[in-house]
Structure 1
Amino acid sequence: MKLVSWNVNGLRACVNKGFMDYYHQSEADIFCLQETKLQAGQIEMELGEDVYQYWNYAIKKGYSGTAVFSRIKPLSVRYGMEEDSEPEGRMLTLEYDAFYLINVYTPNAKRDLTRLPYRLEWEDRFRSYVLQLEKTKPVIICGDLNVAHQEIDLKNPKPNMGNSGFTDEERGKMTDLLASGYVDSFRHLHPDQTDVYSWWSYMPKVRERNVGWRIDYFLVSQQLASKVTDAYIDCHVMGSDHCPVGVQLQG
């Protein structure tokens, strides 16, 4: 089974920059999107009759939003974390026979860290939600988690210490989540690989010089780790300030 995740930073714009070519070439069984930045009815995705589409839109126009395109019909779909969902459309949970899949776009703490308290509170609720699901079956978490966990996960760690996405608090929440029984699939297979990132600033020449951050992930329950046969980052794929990430699972 092949799963792909991509923060498209505006799906309509990404479609005009080759999204459909990559989608078809990927041959993913499940394809997850973050930052779709659209409302219901603003786009029609012709993905084939065998593909089930699920969308969680933000109330605010042109903001956030998640989607999942799945060739496997899920047993259930949940929109948001709480029963009343979230107004920012940040999460979709799909239940399959062997696992839950959570597609998530984690809130950004903002450059001035004004949203850090909310981010940390959200992280605690998210971890509790994940662990509740884990009581039933294994969980796969994918998406833009908006944090570079270790120094190896960004080009310039020293000057970015304390910046949004690399604060001790945000990194600590990722450590807590992994310690709860989850494995970073990419680091599981590539523990020492450097200079592989999934996001680059739009500042001039940044992507050309590969001055990036790895903030997009597939985390899997420890009991699924042995089934991960491949974990990759398609750094060469353009169309967004993020690139796609993916995993291959046995069975």
Structure 2
Amino acid sequence: MAVKHCYFCRKHQDLKIVSYNVNGIRAAINKGFIEWMQTVDADVVCLQEIKAMEDQLTTHLFEDAGYPYHYWYSAQKKGYSGVAILSKIKPNHVEYGTGIDYMDQEGRNLRVDFDNFSVMSLYLPSGTNIARLDHKLQYMADFQQYVNELRQDYPNLVICGDYNICHRAIDIHDPVRNKNVSGFLPVEREWIGNFIDSGFIDSFRYFNDEPHNYTWWSYRANARANNKGWRLDYGMVSEPLEDRLKRSVILPEAKHSDHCPILLEIAS
């Protein structure tokens, strides 16, 4: 039996997808990321901010951990940005980038297509200054258009990653003081709301509407210990997959990065 079909023969199991901004894959490995990943035992792992080229990595570590299929899409600038996907299932196709040059120079989008769904690892830019905020807003607009067109051919999409935006006030520890900070600006919040309304489900909020659930914490002022965080990482699932959604959770106990991973499960 072909490897790529192995999952689809497990009729009574759900597909487990993890997404994790590792803030440097080499640093995360040194903090026990590989061992943690084996414990979680996801079928597909989306990584963001890998900050490495493939030839800088000991890739057999991922194969030894049970992920024979691994795909790396690095930024042209060394030590910056970059995304990856690790999979136990052989995809039918791997799409590197969006075809939009300024996006692809920074290695921010990587997609794998399986028989009846696709998974994308996304790392949306941050808006740390005026120039980067303008870049982020342009990216957001162009990405929405790209996805609108993509869904015509790939309607069953899971877009996991670091969106660098908190959607609602309950997604950030101090919405009042952060209202003028990139990541919680009205224009950014409006965009992610419109993105969801265009045909996506924020899978975590589909199951959990409680506050104080975050995926990123500053390294300063003991923010993580005090849970003063932001929910920047999402598992966005296109609406045709709604009846296959089984679970979506945040995994704050994983501490290989200033982010923590998210996990979602969809039925076979």
User: Could you tell me which residue of structure 2 aligns to residue 119 of structure 1?
Assistant: 136
1:171-229 deviations in whole A, cap 9, x for unaligned? 11101111110000000011x21111100001031110000000000000112122111
Q: Secondary structure of the residue that 2:79 maps to in structure 1?
A: coil
Task: From 177, 190, 210, give the equivalent of 1:172.
Answer: 190
Is 1:208 aligned with 2:208? Answer: no
1:83-132 deviations in whole A, cap 9, x for unaligned? 6571111110111111221110001111x333222211111111111121
Unpaired runs of 5+ residues, structure 1, are none
User: Could you tell me which residue of structure 2 aligns to residue 47 of structure 1?
Assistant: 62
Task: From 3, 6, 25, give the equivalent of 1:11.
Answer: 25
Q: Which runs of 4+ in 1 moved over 4 A?
A: none
Q: What does 1:11-160 correspond to in 2, within 5 Å? A: 11-45=25-59, 46-48=61-63, 51-82=68-99, 86-110=104-128, 112-136=129-153, 137-160=155-178
Letter in 1 for 2:97: G
Q: How many residues align?
A: 249
State the distance in 2 between where 1:197 and 1:61 align.
Answer: 29
User: Could you tell me which residue of structure 2 aligns to residue 2 of structure 1?
Assistant: 16
User: How far 1:82 sits from its partner (Å)?
Assistant: 1.0
User: How far 1:47 sits from its partner (Å)?
Assistant: 2.4
Identity of aligned residues (%): 39
Structure with bigger helix share is: 2
Whether contact under 8 Å (1:100, 1:133) holds in the other structure is no
TM-score, length basis structure 2: 0.90
Change (3 A) 1:62 1:50: closer
User: How far 1:6 sits from its partner (Å)?
Assistant: 0.3
CA RMSD of aligned residues (A): 1.3
Unpaired runs of 5+ residues, structure 2, are 1-14
